[in-house]
Structure 1
């Protein structure tokens, strides 16, 4: 009960200070408001951007390994670029070999891309990203069908001219009719539409291409239409959830690929095993650096705001010295006076922090294309905690001075 009365009394004093010196208080709170806005604004933007990009990364598969010619990251070593250039591309027979022999893979698929492909239906045309895939691709990266169906195994194995269209491609080629069962032209070939993919919308970073502007066709059909010679592309492996870090799958794949390519023990690998998790980790480090930089930039504004709050508290102690003396003469303990001014300092900083967070919340309503700004509860709590800490740091010395005042000297101050 005493604690509640103490809080109510401190709250009353804080409100009186606000009402009596509104202009001075507002100007002092601006530093806290700008500082909290800077820190939480940066955190919110980075979190939203990271969520968007990682969501796009998940579209190329989770818990997967890509067998490719080029590594996604070259590391810090001095490795001549021509060694990577001279590597052979993963071939279709290597995909079949891995599919038959891998024991630590749930699914094995192969894919390849061709960009800027013109698709035509009558007078309608659009450029698309054509992706050739094998049957198990849908087990690695979901291909959600809203109309029609996915490929049949026989269609993939024989490389038939069938296609699954992204939402934008479907709307452009067949604006007024159901595309299922209809045909369109692509590089002189006639393809039959068997499915339409669910609309996903545009993301800031569309790894693997924007889904709504894709045309999926069987891998062998893609190689027949767009290239000649031995079919090649990227091999994608999905591991089991029990394989922590995919270490077993990575080791088994390395051994099988070296065997298939006839590499001697002294020869280095002539293929790369790439993982989306590595890209996500690199992005996480980058976003962490941005967060830290934003925190320290906003901290300067908070320090200025803290000086302003401390100034208010020193002035408030001086103005209320007589009242402090009366309170102490009536039996008020030092901790009561200390808490009273400390609560007032924290309360003022929380008001500044609240308005800073409010500005970030209003920022979330600005249209920024495909980036959705989301102010999370964790960032709100973090902002309020930072504001409270600034309040304690700014008010502790004035509150300590007020608590240490001699009641007789304090009463005689007027």
Structure 2
């Protein structure tokens, strides 16, 4: 009860002091407001940028290991020139993995991409489309958001039928006057029938348009159009994706199984290095996290300078406040006020002042996040709000502790005589 009364009285003293010097209070708040705004704004932009980049990479799938020729992330001093002669994954290897993989996997697919294709339907055409040849279980590896129509049947993928699932932009440009389902178009001289249209994704912050400009066809049909690489030579290279289980932490069991099977399939001796790379989406995610950690630290340092200026401003105001209220402090002490009451009173005033400035800075950041943006939608997380308020409290304590101690240690007789 005593602590609550002490807090309420300190709040009342602080509020009266701030109201009596409104202009000085506002000027003091500006330093803290700018500092908190700078820190939280930087962290908000970094968090929003990281989230948008991660969301734009959803096409690589979750809990998936990809068997490929090249690793996605190169280590330092990586001898990249040694990997030119590595063979790319082949259909034969895919079939063998499909037969030999145990219960650690939930699905396996082989797929290949080719960018820069022209699709034609009558007088309409689409340039720079991506043709993607996939096996039937591809939808277990990566998201295929069919909004109209259907996915492939096993007979269509196994028989290399001329059927396709197209992106929203392709459907709009090739068939602007009606539904794309059942319509025909040509790609590289081969005729395809549209059986599905994918949901429109829009462009991400990286400029990636998701599936909007993709045309997915059976892998066998893709192989008819393009010369597929059967080793380390020319042609379009394929990738094998294996979906892991949720109860396999880190997909370690699946990774060991794939590595052993691939080494056996390729006849590698125990002392020979792997002739393949096992890639995961986490590799890209970790690389991104490292980059944004650096950006976050840089933003924190920049904002800290602004907070330093604001902290000195608050400390200066508190020294002035102690000077102006020396007589009142003497009266309070003569009436029995303890040193800790005076200390808490001024310290609370400094913290309260910083919290007001910090809240104002957070409010400015929140207002900015409400502005509609297509390129980079911003969001203010609860963690950043908590960080801003916590930093405000810390700055208030640091800025107010010395003036508060000086006020608490004043001699009441000398303080009462002060003018």
Normalization by structure 1: what TM-score?
0.95
- Aligned equivalents of 2:274 and 2:302: distance in 1? 45
Say if 2:354 and 2:395, in contact at 8 Å, map to a contact too: yes
Within a 5 Å distance, the mapping from 1:94-109 to structure 2 comes to 94-103=93-102, 104-109=104-109
Equivalence for 2:192: 191
Equivalence for 1:273: 278
Stretch moving more, 185-194 or 309-318: 185-194
Residue 114 of structure 1 aligns to a residue whose secondary structure is: strand
Equivalence for 1:7: 7
Say if 2:157 and 2:218, in contact at 8 Å, map to a contact too: yes
- Aligned equivalents of 2:49 and 2:253: distance in 1? 33
Equivalence for 1:182: 183
- Aligned equivalents of 2:306 and 2:13: distance in 1? 26
Stretch moving more, 383-392 or 111-120: 111-120
Within a 5 Å distance, the mapping from 1:9-408 to structure 2 comes to 9-79=9-79, 81-103=80-102, 104-127=104-127, 128-205=129-206, 210-227=210-227, 230=230, 232-408=237-413
- CA deviations on 1:80-129 (whole Å, 9 max, x unpaired) are x3321111111111111111111121111011111111112222222211
- Aligned equivalents of 1:140 and 1:76: distance in 2? 30
Stretch moving more, 266-275 or 226-235: 226-235
Stretch moving more, 227-236 or 23-32: 227-236
**Aligned-pair distance for 1:26?**
2.3
**Aligned-pair distance for 1:206?**
6.7
Say if 1:92 and 1:232, in contact at 8 Å, map to a contact too: no
**Structure 1, unaligned stretches of length 5 or more?**
none
**Aligned-pair distance for 1:12?**
2.7
- CA deviations on 1:206-250 (whole Å, 9 max, x unpaired) are 77x621111111111112112257585000011112222212211
- Aligned equivalents of 2:356 and 2:43: distance in 1? 20
Say if 1:119 and 1:184, in contact at 8 Å, map to a contact too: yes
Say if 1:324 and 1:402, in contact at 8 Å, map to a contact too: yes
Residue 211 of structure 1 aligns to a residue whose secondary structure is: coil
The Cα RMSD (Å) is 1.7
Residue 74 of structure 2 aligns to a residue whose secondary structure is: coil
- Aligned equivalents of 1:39 and 1:175: distance in 2? 48
Residue 212 of structure 1 aligns to a residue whose secondary structure is: coil
- Aligned equivalents of 1:161 and 1:155: distance in 2? 8
- CA deviations on 1:113-154 (whole Å, 9 max, x unpaired) are 111111122222222111111110101112121111000001
Q: 1:175/1:400 Cα in 2 relative to 1: closer, same or farther (>3 Å)?
A: same
- Aligned equivalents of 1:410 and 1:339: distance in 2? 18
- Aligned equivalents of 1:155 and 1:320: distance in 2? 86
- Aligned equivalents of 1:160 and 1:408: distance in 2? 99
Q: 1:229/1:65 Cα in 2 relative to 1: closer, same or farther (>3 Å)?
A: closer
- CA deviations on 1:45-103 (whole Å, 9 max, x unpaired) are 11111111222233211111110111112212351x33211111111111111111111
- CA deviations on 1:324-363 (whole Å, 9 max, x unpaired) are 1111111111111111111110011011111111121122
- Aligned equivalents of 1:253 and 1:156: distance in 2? 24
Residue 86 of structure 1 aligns to a residue whose secondary structure is: coil
- Aligned equivalents of 1:334 and 1:391: distance in 2? 19
Residue 217 of structure 1 aligns to a residue whose secondary structure is: strand
Say if 2:229 and 2:237, in contact at 8 Å, map to a contact too: no
- Aligned equivalents of 2:374 and 2:221: distance in 1? 36
The alignment of Structure 1 onto Structure 2 pairs a total of residues equal to 412
